[in-house]
Amino acid sequence: MVARVAEALAAYANTAARGSAAGLEAREALPGNSFAEMVRDMVGETVEAQRTAEQLTTEALVGRADINEVVLAVGNAEVGLQTVIGIRDKMIEAYKDIMRMPI
């Protein structure tokens, strides 16, 4: 058992040494939005589309909005929600794949 622990420590040390080789150093952050900011913006836009659809639906019930506008707003909100759910599912799937990887 002790030999296996020593082998594992040696393997980790070897991997860490390879990670500091030339060409593998950390890069500067690229200009623009990070993935987290992109997801946050997408969720915010989806929430805003949901609010717009609800507002137009309420106005249509009172008779102040065109039914075509309501259908379009609800469709946009639905597409946005499906996109956010799809991204969430892919992120969870990727996380599970990473957790299943052998060390």
Q: Tell me whether residue 14 is in a domain.
A: no
Q: Tell me whether residue 15 is in a domain.
A: no
Q: Tell me whether residue 37 is in a domain.
A: yes
pLDDT tens digits, residue range 41-94? 989 999 999 999 999 999 999 999 999 999 999 999 999 999 999 999 999 999
Q: Tell me whether residue 10 is in a domain.
A: no
Range of the domain at 80: 30-100
Q: Which of 69, 49, 50 is nearest to 59 (CA)?
A: 69
Domain count, the chain: 1
Q: Tell me whether residue 93 is in a domain.
A: yes
Are 74 and 49 spatial neighbours (Cβ–Cβ below 8 Å)? Answer: no
pLDDT at position 3, please?
60
Are 60 and 70 spatial neighbours (Cβ–Cβ below 8 Å)? Answer: yes
pLDDT at position 25, please?
59
pLDDT tens digits, residue range 14-55? 666 665 555 555 566 556 678 888 888 989 999 999 999 999
Q: Tell me whether residue 17 is in a domain.
A: no
- For the whole model, what pTM was predicted? 0.61
Q: Tell me whether residue 86 is in a domain.
A: yes
